[in-house]
Amino acid sequence: MFKNTCPLTVTMGHYIEKKVIRGRAYYYLTENTYKDGKWKKTRKYLGIATPKGFEKPRRKNPKPILDEKEIKSIETIRKNYSKVHHLDSRLWKEERERFTSFIFNTNAIEGNPVTLENTDTVLSGGHIKAKKKDVREIKNMKMCIDFLFSYSGKIDEQLVLKLHKMQMEGVLPESGQYRSVDVSVGKYICPPSHEVPKLMKRFFIWLNESEKDVPAFELACLVHLKFVRIHPFRDGNGRMARLLMNLVLLKKGYPLLNIFNDEKLLYYLVLKKVDITRRPKSFVEYLFSTYIRQYEEYAKSNIR
């Protein structure tokens, strides 16, 4: 028999390890080393963004979340709505009540106290007794919607930063800039600020690829969901998510989707469920039922 004259050291090489803690994924560069009869694991933290090469190959034709009947209902709404309305700036006159409601609700969800009636007054050029910030949020949202009607380009970083600056001008000093601080929403801990640029880059790549094979309504829902999970700005993320969701719909010829403030609790509960399950189905189904209720007459009737 031979006797070892020096310690035996065996290194198994580096690999990427994924750890899930409380429903959230963390990635590490890991190395296993065998020395003196013991295995030692050394980890280097990489972040929460999925490292390049670790992702599973993306399916070219992912299975739709909604069934054929539900997708058909959405398409019926699109066709019937387009028969009686223009999906451009003229829609403000044709559907003023609906747009006023959208501006009121998307701001109210985020804590703006101005009433629906006073929101309409501001949009009509009138004056109300309210904080300048609250009034500015109403006017800014109107400008954002007007801009979306005139925008025909793709959804990219330039657009998102421009839209956020427009939305938060005079409200947030860092308007149009990704956040430089770490934030959380309730119990949800958002990605670290230094991860935001990389995550947003991946978001735009995903969106560009998904436009080819994901049904338009589902894509709009997923844009909302993925955007709020990244939470790229210090404030205004919920309103931005709802604007981008509706931009996807408008570009594809679908009417606006409004999430109502009096359903805020349900809205947040569904988002929380996605955080826990890591599956978007419940959120897409929730927005589908909301959309059908809003356009019930267009889903059922055969308008000529």
- Which residues are designated catalytic? 231
Contact 61, 76 (CB under 8 A): no
Contact 76, 298 (CB under 8 A): yes
Q: In what order do the strands lie in the sheet with 38-47?
A: 9-21, 24-35, 38-47
How many angstroms separate the first and last alpha carbons of the chain? 94
* Type of residue found at 124: S
